[in-house]
Structure 1
Amino acid sequence: MGLWPRVVALLLLLLCLPAHEAFALISLVSRSRMWPGPTGLLLLLPLAVLWLLPWPWQALWLAPAFVLWLPRWLPDGLARRFPAWVRWLPEDLSYIGRLLHFTLVQKRMYKSFVDVLETRARAEPDRLMVVDAASGRQVSLGEMERRSCQVARALGAALQGSVGLKEGDVAALFFGGPQGISAITLWFGLGKLGCQVAWINCHIRGAPLQHAVLSSGCCVLVADPELQEAVETVLPELMAKGIRCFYLSSTSPTRGVEPLKDLLEAASSDPVPPQIRTGVTPKSRCMFIYTSGTTGLPKPVIFTHDRMLMLVGGLKMCGAKKSDTFYVTLPLYHSAALVVGVMGSLHLGCTLILAPKFSASNFWNDCRKYQVTVIQYIGELLRYLCSTPKQPCDREHRVRLAIGNGLRAEVWTQFQERFGPIQICEAYGSTEGNFGLINYPGRVGAVGKSSFLLQLLCPHELIRFDIETEKPIRDNEGRCIPVEPGERGLLVSRVTKYNPFLGYLGPQQHTEKKLLRDVLCPGDVYFNSGDLLSRDSDDFYYFHDRIGDTFRWKGENVSTREVEGVLSLVDFLEEVNVYGVPVPGCEGKAGMAAVRLSPGKTFDGQKLHGFIQKELPAYAVPRFIRIRDFLASTATFKLSKLQLVQEGFDLRIIPDPLYVLDNKSGTFQPLTPELHRAILDGSIRL
């Protein structure tokens, strides 16, 4: 066969590929540094076979490719006649290919997270690593490497430091947002010693703070001097346990807390020999990130180097590039900011812009100032941006990609309509979970996409769940029952050698509570995500609620998230928090919504009644409305429900205006003491 027929066949094959995949193959050939590595050979093998085969065999080779990519060229109605796995196979193959390449090649280049910094710093010492958006302070890779070496030499016993930290010891970091770069420097410096680091939530106080520090097993606490008051409240208990405490400052106003800053500045910045951490392996523990504590005291989640290095690939999997500038406003004690933000940008090689805290009014100004191209969100962050007054410059920015989780479908659309066609990459996962999803095709409202290929690598399932007993429903043989497409179920993921569940530091029962056994077959073990999701016929997954947030009323399951989404469309409601409250004599819990009114707006019970009667099923309509000046939320923008649930609709302890549903008059009327007594004694039925 001549040259030109072979060239034509090759071009036809490339046309079958998605544009980014074809470009990747072409660029692979042109990059001599990638050739002839095993990955390059593997990717180029189909092209080589196609080039060498005679024409009849080339036709057979091209036919399956055309069939697989044919749905891409057909109208949606015709494309849907193909099986879902055929329609989405190109995207699924592309995603799984990138996942395997990262897992088998890129992740294995490093033994610990510190190796990533040292490798990057040697290759590009002058490259900008991180910028503090508040102060404008800039740190290059080389400077971060030198300063982390100072930390290691000042704190390491093998280097004659004063504290005597060594491999395997635990140090706790207690820092606020403005000290982000200093906290990162300490983290890498401690990592060079082989120490484990516990990241303490800077917003907790008293007993929760004491519990968080003590449960980590740390021997050293380094704190932001701005958190002096919080440190002093727990200092006697920490000192009694032999924990040595430091402020990152030149002086200390607190007796028993030592200043650390001058010690660090005086230390040598010479490279720290890796022999100090010879015992560190990819399976070694490297840090602890705490759960939110919404169902009890915070629990330290175990991270190994291997798990850390696996999760940093999420940034690249979502479409970020080395040339990007990544903007992060979340606190560093949150895994999204620390692992995906700091480590993800370091591993990828892009620049990180670190804001001390989220500010809706400063967000876009920072993006323009630092020419940000990728932003990170979580929970309600993008909704807060949409709630700000519209500006003529709303679309004057370079942001092309938003990465995060917890974005509602209505906010997704609203955000893109206002701020431009920014690609949104929604992901699903948890701090302690052994499984995650990414919505790589970008379907609005979905938290991720699965496939039969991903099922092979990471077995997972949605199983039927009883809201009242808060336990999975099992069949006569004691096995859990998978749900059908469109049906809500509890997401569980199988615990295997390649997808382990590391659990929590401390009592084993905390870890055991997150496991389900004998789920689909005898002896299997699954991680219980605690989340209720559904999937459609295309294997896209949709988040509905957390177990405990979903409640049952009149025999029906009510998703607080879905009700919140509907109520948030009411023009006089600025913010909505939905939860269930018990009512004497009633089955389940009645829906209640704590709301914050929009500026300049008043509550209109009749208008709200008419709207929700059209938009919500009868069982999901809230029975009570509570007007609040503000709605409490966590540092990661999750609305707090616990105190609201405990207070219920008790007029004796609630100073806020309360309203109760009145279907007869078609409105929400003020809850008076007389109505309250009638509801409690059953004279009025809800």
Structure 2
Amino acid sequence: MSQADLISPLRFLTRLPQHLPRVPRMLRGLYYAGIRNREKQLSLAWALERAALLHGERPALLDETRRLTYNQFNAWANRLAWAFKAEGVRRGSVVAVILENRLELLAILAALSKLGAVGALVNTSQRGKVLAHSLNLVKPGCIVVGSELLNAFDDVAALLDKPDTPRHWIADQDCLQDTGNAPAGWGNLMQLARNQASENLPDSARVQMKDPCFLIYTSGTTGLPKASIMSHGKWIKAYGGFGHSGLTLNNQDLLYLTLPCYHNNAVTVCWSAALAGGAAIALRRKFSASAFWPDVQRYQATCFGYIGELCRYLLNQPECAAERNNSLRCMIGNGLRPSIWSEFKARFGIEQITEFYASSEGNIGFTNVFNFDNTVGFTPATYAIVRYDLDNDQAIRGKKGFLQKAKKGEPGLLICEISAKWPFDGYTDPAKSEAAILRNVFKQGDAWFNTGDLMRDIGCKHAQFVDRLGDTFRWKGENVSTTEVENVLGALPGVEDAVVYGVEIPGTNGRCGMAALRLSEGTQLNTHALAAHLEAELPEYAVPVFIRLISEVETTGTFKYKKADLKQTAYNPSAVAEALWVRLPGDKHFTALDHTLFSAINQQAYRF
């Protein structure tokens, strides 16, 4: 950490005058972020209907071929809501939604919010048993699938606990005018909605902040995905914090969105920021570094949603004419590393970087409201950064049994007090929710949410992200569960033990996967079979980049793998006596890793 990153009271006060014009919006944002009454009738549906009332003829959603005003989008969502209601969807109903980024997805989620129903946002890269688990976990009363993912669903249909769950199909075409025929056994949701009423539903006014809005899947230490509850209250806090206090977009702005809509970064952070000011969203199916600047130019986008990896991809692209004098003035997201922060801001002329920190299941969020560099920003929440013993993987308690706060600038575990103002909605599984709570932290009877992340306090209620703890690491903008990957590797014949952990590659964000394998006696590793097995069983981002062999596995007294030494030696041939392999970018196979290739990777000759 640079000393320049520390924020003194004087430095903070000198920054305030430039933000004076934003004060009314910022105060409104603090109001929404601080609401304690969870029975208050505020929701995503309320925010959309308010935006339609205030900005009805302004653009709301765009893609390559379509442009919808707020009035048109709200009416479409209403027709879908009436159709869902006719099909028996009610407040609290869970509807699994499996669609890639397209306007239909946001319309469906808006429709469900109007009923107080819950959209379970399935990760579109999931396949096989993981996909079946995600669907069975939330026990949906209805499933909506896009035609682009119909094959993936069909592959797991026989594994569903309730194979007779009503299913609706969405054609991969202009569904506002859809006349396509649904496959046998499926209903065409857009056809059902076509003749429904366009007026707001009375149900919308009854949705409360305590009601679930989305179920967001997150990888955890137990291996398979967990479903965290995103309440309307947390969505409204984002609407206040990111929309009004953070970005302060208005109805002349357009936010370019390429992040997957099964992530909260897209459906909560970016969407709430747009709705708060009546801004438009231009939605793209998948991120493309080469198409990014032409798209920004075509839409005249003023803002975009990012993750750190996306920013690195853009920096690695050769300069192009479209990036010069571009229309972007701000961006919102997380994971922009200090090592590229200034370079990115300078090259592309970005005035405002609204970096934030939050988690789908947590009760705390930071937002870079005051536009300082190299920080996740400010939070009004009651939080603490406490000392953490990395070797024993636990927070340090003093003689009286209470946790100890870290000093300013010292890395520690971020925790947030659980209270009426900052509730913890947790997971669908109560046992997993309880496991995320620290009790008797600073006094008997108190309860704090354990974020599992290392942060450092840099002053004036601002923080800087340091690292993630536990058995989850982040790669390609996704959380990867080491246990899930270990289970997949353990199913390969000849593999006795598989230890998976994250390692850093120079010039990249996050950590990629590395696996240390102990083979059965007499077994030779078939790297081609290994690569094929991993590709069939795991999403692309979860496939380990590096493989090594080990003769024995160290475990703790509770039989947990000891990974510290493995992480330290990583994939360095000088530190690892056993064989090493690497899966180079674009390859579907593993290549033997020697000193020459190791040097090339360290010199960033490959773009992982």
Other-structure match for 1:296: 223
Q: Which residue of 1 aligns with 2:207?
A: 280
Say whether the 8 Å CA contact 1:107–1:309 is kept in structure 2.
no
CA apart distance, 1:257: 2.7
- Check the 8 A contact 1:575/1:631 in 2, yes or no: no
Q: Contact 1:84/1:537 (CA < 8 Å) preserved in 2?
A: yes
**Higher Rg of the two aligned structures:** 1
* TM-score (structure 1 length as normaliser): 0.67
CA distance in 2, matches of 1:376, 1:217: 31
Matches within 5 A, 1:531-542: 531-536=453-458, 540-542=462-464
Partner of residue 341, structure 1: 270
Equivalent residue, structure 2, for 1:209: 131
Which deviations, in whole Å up to 9, do the C-alpha atoms of 1:584-641 show, x marking residues without a partner?
599842335569xxxxxxxxx9xxx9xxxxxxxxx9x999975432289xxxxxxxxx
1:114 equivalent in structure 2: 45
Match of 2:593 among 629, 653, 658: 658
Within 2, Cα distance between the matches of 1:402 and 1:277?
31
Matched, 1:168 2:95: no
2:583 is aligned with what amino acid?
A: R
In the TM superposition, residue 243 of structure 1 has moved relative to its aligned partner by: 1.4
Contact 1:172-1:220 at 8 Å conserved across structures: yes
Say whether 1:490 aligns with 2:417: no
Deviation of residue 402 (structure 1)? 1.6
CA distance in 1, matches of 2:472, 2:80: 47
Structure 1, unaligned stretches of length 5 or more? 1-75, 552-558, 596-604, 610-618, 633-653, 671-686
Q: 1:399, CA displacement in angstroms?
A: 0.6
8 A contact 2:142–2:165 mirrored in 1: yes
Shift in Å at residue 268 of structure 1? 2.4
Report the alpha carbon displacement of residue 469 of structure 1 after superposing the two structures with TM.
Answer: 2.8
> Any idea what the Cα deviations from partners look like across 1:459-486, whole Å, max 9, x if unmatched?
2111122223321111121111111223
Contact 2:45 2:204 in 1 (8 A): no
The secondary structure found in structure 2 opposite 1:491 is strand
**Change over 3 Å in CA distance of 1:246–1:92 after alignment to 2:** same
Which residue is equivalent to 2:583?
628
Paired with 1:480 and 1:464, the residues of 2 have a C-alpha distance of: 7
The aligned runs of 1:65-76 (5 Å cut-off) are none
* Alignment of 1:309 onto 2:236: yes
Identity percentage over the alignment? 29
For 1:165-564, list aligned pairs within 5 A. 165-177=89-101, 180-238=102-160, 240=162, 242-249=164-171, 254-265=183-194, 267-274=195-202, 276=203, 279-292=206-219, 296-313=223-240, 314-322=242-250, 323-449=252-378, 454=380, 458-505=381-428, 507-536=429-458, 540-548=462-470, 564=505
Distance 1:315 1:466 in 2: 37
Residues 374-383 or 210-219, more deviating: 210-219
Aligned twin of 2:493: none
Q: Retained in 2: the 8 A contact 1:592–1:626?
A: no
2: CA distance between counterparts of 1:352 and 1:516? 39
Are 1:583 and 1:589, in contact at CA under 8 Å, matched by a contact in 2? Answer: no
Structure 1 residues 384 and 440: CA distance shift in structure 2, 3 A: same
Asked if the contact 2:297/2:326 (under 8 Å) is kept, the reply is: yes
Q: Distance in 2 between matches of 1:99 and 1:499?
A: 19
- Partner of residue 123 from structure 1, selected from 19, 44, 54: 54
Q: In the aligned structure 2, how far is the partner of 1:487 from the partner of 1:439?
A: 20
SS of alignment partner, residue 247 of structure 2? coil
Check conservation: 2:41, 2:208, Cα contact below 8 A.
Answer: no
Q: Secondary structure of 2:369's match?
A: coil
One-letter amino acid matched to 1:426: E
CA deviations on 1:626-662 (whole Å, 9 max, x unpaired) are 5432289xxxxxxxxxxxxxxxxxxxxx942223699
1:242, distance to aligned residue in structure 2 (A)? 3.9
Q: Provide the C-alpha distance between the structure 1 equivalents of 2:204 and 2:77, rounded to a whole number of angstroms.
A: 15
**Counterpart amino acid of 2:111?**
G
SS at match of 1:318: helix
Tell me, yes or no, if the aligned pair for 1:568 and 1:576 is still in contact at 8 Å. Answer: no
Which residue number in structure 1 is paired with residue 9 of structure 2? Answer: 85
Please list the CA deviations of residues 121-153 of structure 1 after superposition, one character each: whole Å capped at 9, or x if unmatched: 233322110101xx2311111111221121122
Q: 1:254-311 CA distances to partner (integer Å, 9 max, x unpaired)?
A: 543333332222x22331441x456532222222111145752221211222221111
Q: Is the 8 A contact 2:41 2:207 kept in 1?
A: no
Q: Tell me the secondary structure at the aligned position of residue 353 of structure 1.
A: strand
Q: Tell me: CA distance 1:188–1:486, structure 2 relative to 1, closer, same or farther (3 Å).
A: closer
Rate the CA distance shift 1:538–1:143 in 2: closer, same or farther, 3 A.
closer
Partner of 1:386, secondary structure, is: helix
Seen in structure 2, the aligned counterparts of structure 1 residues 592 and 548 have a Cα distance that, compared at 3 Å, is farther
For these two proteins, the number of residue pairs brought into alignment is 513
Offset of residue 550 of structure 1: 9.8
For residue 543 of structure 1, give the secondary structure of its aligned residue in structure 2: strand
Query: Residue type of the partner of 1:628?
Result: R
* Correspondence for 2:80: 151
User: How far 1:239 sits from its partner (Å)?
Assistant: 7.1
The answer (yes or no) to whether the contact 2:61–2:73 under 8 Å persists in 1 is: no
Note if contact 1:517-1:526 (Cα within 8 Å) is conserved in structure 2. Answer: yes
Question: Offset at 1:183?
Answer: 1.2
Residue 534 (structure 2) aligns with: none
Instruction: Flag structure 2 segments of 5+ consecutive residues without an equivalent.
Output: 172-178, 474-500, 517-549, 555-561, 602-608
What letter is aligned with 1:656? T
Residue type at the aligned position of 1:335? N
1:20-31 mapped onto 2 (5 Å cutoff): none
Q: Deviations over 1:10-48 (max 9, x none)?
A: xxxxxxxxxxxxxxxxxxxxxxxxxxxxxxxxxxxxxxx
Cα 1:173–1:498 change in 2 (3 A) is same
The normalised TM-score by structure 2 is 0.75
The whole-number CA distance in structure 1 between the counterparts of 2:461 and 2:200 is 48
Q: CA deviation at 1:103?
A: 3.9
Deviation at 1:253, TM superposition (A): 6.6
**1:586-601 matches, cutoff 5 A:** 588-590=564-566, 591=568
- Whichever residue aligns with residue 568 of structure 1, its letter is G
Offset at residue 185 of structure 1 (A): 1.2
Please state whether the residue corresponding to 1:155 is helix, strand or coil.
Answer: helix
Secondary structure of 1:165's match? Answer: coil
Cα shift at 1:339: 1.0
- Shift in Å, 1:369: 0.8
Instruction: Give 2:31's aligned residue.
Output: 104
Give the CA deviation at 1:97: 8.1
Distance 1:478 1:252, change over 3 A: farther
Matched-pair contact (CA < 8 Å) for 2:114–2:207: no
Contact 1:576 / 1:593 at 8 angstroms: preserved in 2? Answer: no
What is the SS of the residue equivalent to 2:392?
A: coil
Q: Which residue of 2 aligns with 1:568?
A: 507
Cα distance in structure 1, aligned partners of 2:370 and 2:337: 17
Match of 2:176 in 1: none
Corresponding residue for residue 479 of structure 2: none
Cα–Cα, structure 1 residues 238 and 668, in superposed 2: closer, same or farther, change >3 Å? closer
